[in-house]
Every structure is written in C-alpha cells, then in structure tokens.
C-alpha cells in the first residue's frame, strides 16, 4: 500500500550544505517526492511538531534546534515522500535517532553529531509511523501544496482568499 512520510532537512543539515547528499541518499528508495518547500519554523510549529516530547528534559533545546537558533540557518526543508513502504524505507536510510549509535552509513550516522549539551543534531527528521506521518504532513503542508490526494479535504470559508501573483 502506498503511504506518505514527512522528511525535514533540519537546520544543521542546511548549515552543513547537506541537502544534495540527503536527496541523493533518499533517491535510493525510488519513492516519489510529492511536496517540498523551505520553511521558517516559528515557535508554534516547532512545539506542535514535537508535542509528543514536551515532557522530555531536552524539549526546550530541541525547540531551539528545530527553529534554527543553534545554527545560523533559520529554516528547514520540508518534503513529503510517497510510495510503498515509504515510512520504513526513509527511516532505514535516515538511521537511528542517536547519531553515535546510528548505522555508520546512514544519513544520521554519516553526518550527525551530539552537541555538548547532549542534543542529537541528526540532520533529518523522518516520520515514525502512519499516524505520525499523517499528523505531521497535515501540520507542515496545505492540501494544494501536495501533488497527490493523500487525505480527505474540505472547503473552507478562507477558500479563494489566498494571495495570487500580481
Ligand atoms: N532527541 C535528542 N535527544 C534524545 C532524543 C531525541 O536530542 O535523547 C532529538 C533528536 O534530534 C531527535 C528528536 O529529538 O531526532 C526527536 O526525537 P524522537 O525520539 O522522535 O527521534 P526520531 O523520531 O527523530 O528518530
Ligand atoms: Mg520521532
């Protein structure tokens, strides 16, 4: 069954110019990129994205990290990958959460590091399971930013009020 997964190139990945490497590694999956954009992450988006970790001792550092406050790059690249086994395939190439323990040829194993404060700067985010993937993709993308129909949509009062190019 086809499924989608959210990938973020985190601020450390952008600062280290790893976007090309990440895309090349992920192309091994033969999955399709169905959405992509550069995003400035505000506090609300950061906290919503990592809301499941809000009780962790490293939460505030993690929020600073994903907002780009630990790097000079206040942006992330967000993408949705789509295809059979997308979630597992991307997680496999991403590698384990702790970059020191991740498979050494995984993205996180190759390019990640642990900061002196103990935060895992691990270059990319990848959704864990279908529930998380749906929640995360809906958080990061609007329906019209994704080129396939992933989830049900509804008409809203705001329809037609989006800015158009002059
Ligand atoms: N993280 C960390 N220390 C930990 C656990 C997590 O710094 O002990 C950071 C790390 O950047 C990780 C993110 O928090 O990618 C989200 O944690 P999660 O457990 O969801 O790991 P992931 O799904 O990203 O592998
Ligand atoms: Mg996770």
Atom of ligand 1 minimally distant from the CA of 119: 7
Phi/psi for 80 (5° steps) reads -115, 125
Q: 29, 49, 125, 127: which one is catalytic?
A: 125
pLDDT in the model for residue 62: 98
> Is the distance from CB of 78 to CB of 37 less than 8 angstroms?
yes
Per-residue confidence (pLDDT) for residue 155, from 0 to 100 = 86
Provide the pLDDT for residue 22.
98
**What per-residue confidence (pLDDT) applies to 159?**
63
Model confidence pLDDT, tens digit, residues 84-141: 999 999 999 999 999 999 999 999 999 999 999 999 999 999 999 999 999 999 999 9
Tokens read off for 147: 């080129």
Residue burial 120-150, b: 16+ Cβ < 10 Å; e: rest: bbbbbbbbeeeeebbbbbeebbeeeebeeeb
Crossing angle of the two packed helices 130-140 and 86-94, in degrees rounded to 10:
80
Residue ranges with CB less than 5 Å from ion ligand 2: 128
| Six token digits for residue 8 | 């973020």
Known active-site residue 71? no
Q: Looking at ligand 1, which atom is closest to the CA of residue 10?
A: 11
- Give the number of whichever ligand sits closest to the CA of residue 66: 1
Residue 99 tokens read as 């970059």
Give the distance (Å) from ligand 2 centre to CA of residue 111: 18
Q: Which CATH superfamily is domain 2-165 in?
A: Nucleoside diphosphate kinase-like domain (3.30.70.141)
* pTM recorded for the entire structure: 0.96
Q: Which tokens is 143 given?
A: 């329906």
pLDDT score of 6: 99
Give the length of the chain.
166
């Amino acid at each position: 069954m086809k499924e989608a997964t959210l990938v973020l190139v985190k601020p450390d990945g952008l600062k280290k110019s790893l976007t090309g490497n990440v895309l090349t590694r992920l192309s091994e999956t033969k999955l399709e990129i169905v959405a992509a954009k550069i995003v400035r992450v505000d506090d609300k988006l950061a906290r919503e994205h990592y809301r499941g970790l809000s009780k962790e001792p490293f939460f505030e550092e993690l929020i600073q990290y994903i907002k780009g406050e630990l790097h000079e790059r206040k942006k992330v690249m967000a993408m949705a990958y789509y295809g059979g086994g997308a979630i597992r395939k991307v997680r496999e190439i991403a590698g384990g959460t702790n970059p020191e323990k991740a498979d050494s040829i995984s993205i996180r194993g190759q390019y990640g590091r642990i900061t002196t404060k103990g935060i895992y700067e691990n270059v990319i985010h990848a959704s864990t399971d279908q529930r998380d993937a749906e929640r995360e993709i809906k958080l990061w993308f609007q329906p019209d930013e994704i080129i396939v129909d992933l989830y049900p949509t509804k008409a809203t009062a705001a329809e037609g009020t989006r800015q158009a190019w002059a």
